[in-house]
């Protein structure tokens, strides 16, 4: 009698389904608490002041960098309490897990929608240098942006 792989394949499919569902649950949990720290002191007051200013400047510009200096207290607190920021970890993105990476990617996309001339592909390029990201990781993020239609 020859081996029939159907039963083993169905078990594998079921297990991958289970694991991906667990991962999806973690993403939903994170989505429900994303950036909650911005709604409390010491972040809220400074974001109240600087968010309108950031809206009208170009990401990565000298003006943008100056606004970040004004937000330092809020950003230090924010990064300490939100693991999807490279600044959260002593070793930056190398401290990430996949969930941090996914949340960061969508955070970057949403941020591009709040700034003048926002563009996720351009943001990935700027952040490649800023956070010392590998070519491979940047390609994966760009490919994801393109797949989702964010490159327009």
Over residues 45-77, the pLDDT tens digits come to: 999 999 999 888 888 889 989 999 999 999 999
Distance CA 32, CA 45 (A): 22
Are 143 and 115 found together in one domain?
Answer: yes
Distance CA 74, CA 76 (A): 6
Mean pLDDT of 91-119: 94
Predicted confidence at residue 145, as pLDDT, reads: 98
The radius of gyration of the chain from alpha carbons, rounded to an integer in Å, stands at: 19
Is 88 a member of any domain? Answer: no
Helix boundaries (H) for the chain: 6-33, 43-55, 62-70, 72-81, 98-112, 120-130, 135-147
For residue 152, pLDDT beyond 70: no
Mean pLDDT of 100-117: 93
Are 62 and 111 found together in one domain?
Answer: no
For residue 12, pLDDT beyond 80: yes
pTM of the model: 0.91
Domain span including residue 103: 97-152
Share of the chain above pLDDT 90, in %: 89
Are 72 and 101 found together in one domain?
Answer: no
Is 92 a member of any domain? Answer: no
Are 135 and 106 found together in one domain?
Answer: yes
What 105-110 contacts at long range (C-beta under 8 Å, 24+ apart), as own/partner pairs, is 105/141, 105/144, 107/34, 107/35, 109/145, 109/150
Is 67 a member of any domain? Answer: yes
Is 111 a member of any domain? Answer: yes
Mean pLDDT of 133-146: 98
Residue 33 contacts residue 39 (beta carbons within 8 Å):
no
Mapped onto helix, strand or coil, the DSSP state of residue 112 is helix
Is 26 a member of any domain? Answer: no
Our count of domains for the chain comes to 2
For residue 116, pLDDT beyond 80: no
Distance CA 146, CA 129 (A): 21
């Amino acid at each position: 009698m020859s081996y029939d792989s159907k039963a083993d394949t169905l078990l594998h499919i079921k297990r991958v389904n289970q694991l991906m569902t667990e991962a999806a649950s973690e993403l939903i949990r994170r989505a429900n608490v994303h950036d909650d720290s911005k709604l409390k002191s010491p972040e809220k007051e400074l974001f109240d002041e600087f968010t309108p200013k950031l809206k009208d400047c170009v990401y990565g510009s000298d003006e943008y960098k100056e606004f970040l200096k004004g937000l330092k207290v809020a950003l230090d607190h924010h990064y300490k309490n939100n693991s999807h920021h490279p600044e959260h970890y002593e070793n930056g993105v190398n401290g990430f897990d996949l969930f941090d990476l996914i949340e960061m990617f969508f955070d970057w996309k949403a941020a591009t929608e709040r700034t003048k001339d926002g563009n996720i592909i351009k943001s990935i390029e700027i952040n490649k240098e800023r956070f010392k990201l590998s070519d491979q990781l940047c390609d994966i993020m760009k490919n994801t942006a393109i797949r989702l239609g964010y490159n327009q």
